[in-house]
Amino acid sequence: MKLNRKKIRNFYERFIKYVFIVCAGVGAAAVLFITFFIFQSGVPLFAHVSPFEFLFSSYWEPSAEVNPGFGILPFIMGSIMVTALALLIGVPVGIACAIYLAEITKGRFAEILRRVVEILAGIPSVVFGLFGMTVICPLIREVFGGTGYNALSGSVILAIMILPTIISISEISIRAVPHDYKAASLAIGATHWQTITKVLLPAARSGIIAAIILGTGRAIGETMAVYMVAGNTPLMPNFAEWLGLTSSVRTLTMNIITDMSCASGLHRTALFTTSIVLFIFIMALNILIQFIIRKTKINAVQ
């Protein structure tokens, strides 16, 4: 009887092992197929347009019969602008909230705040867009003038959307710091705030940086909410006026969703090439995360 039970247990363990292997293989295969499909569909554009012109030209008229243009520089600038400003707004707020949840507030109120953050993470993008259209855009229109549908509106919405990622991962990283670090700091006379800023945050640095980079990836890849509030104009931002923040912008993702339904031929190919640029941005962020984590582990060992 014991021998049969052992055989059944061994068979069950091998079965579960193979299930996990298959699941991992499916995930890896999905990434490979998506990568192959995007590059196969987008790379042929470079037989007609040079990579330099595609990346650094501001002339976008891919469906024009005479002198068509395939420059995505305005969309790259739009993506960089709204993402950078969203991080400028969201990172300080997110880290401050993470510190508050991890080190200051306790009990039921802390649990309520965590539930609110979880709910915020689950709200659909279109709801954020509707909130931006009805609240953020009119407010910015009153303060700065214009239509209110601009890079600043998109940045504010993105800042709200990346908060759950930054807050959750940063709080976990701060809580993961060994309690001995905090106890030792307090024992030598440091205040609670000095302990947080001089001990806990540096010790949790890798996790916080990873949270920021993941938030950056979320901001770069967001489409619908920004599409609803940023103006969607395929032109370079007017940096002479409020540093371009009140200019209507179009991001890389907005360009794909705007033109894909009516694109054909080289126009459609150019949209897939745009997705390659976006794909490279996201891959670079993931590689950066891995490098930071590996670097932190090496420093910890040394």
Domain ranges, ordered by start, for the chain:
2-47, 74-264
Q: How does the average pLDDT of the chain come out, rounded? A: 88
Average pLDDT over residues 204-231: 89
Count of CB atoms situated within 10 Å of the CB of 157: 28
Which tokens belong to 126?
A: 């279109």
What's the confidence (pLDDT) of residue 274?
93
Note the pTM of the prediction, 2 decimals.
0.86
297 vs 31, higher pLDDT: 31
Instruction: Indicate whether 298 pLDDT > 70.
Output: no
Range in 69-73, 96-100, 202-206, 298-302 with the lowest mean pLDDT: 298-302
Q: What pLDDT score was predicted for residue 301?
A: 47
Query: Can you tell me whether residue 27 is helix, strand or coil?
Result: helix
Average pLDDT over residues 160-184: 91
pLDDT in tens, 257-293: 988 888 888 899 999 999 999 999 888 887 877 777 6
Which CATH number is correct for 74-264, 1.10.10.1100, 3.40.50.720, 1.10.3720.10, 3.40.630.10? 1.10.3720.10
pLDDT at 152 over 60: yes
End-to-end, the C-alpha distance of the chain in Å comes to 52
* Beta carbons of 231 and 147 less than 8 angstroms apart: yes
Any residues with CB less than 8 A from the CB of 268 and at least 6 apart, and which? Answer: 260
- Which of 39, 33, 40, 62 has the alpha carbon at shortest distance from 276? 39
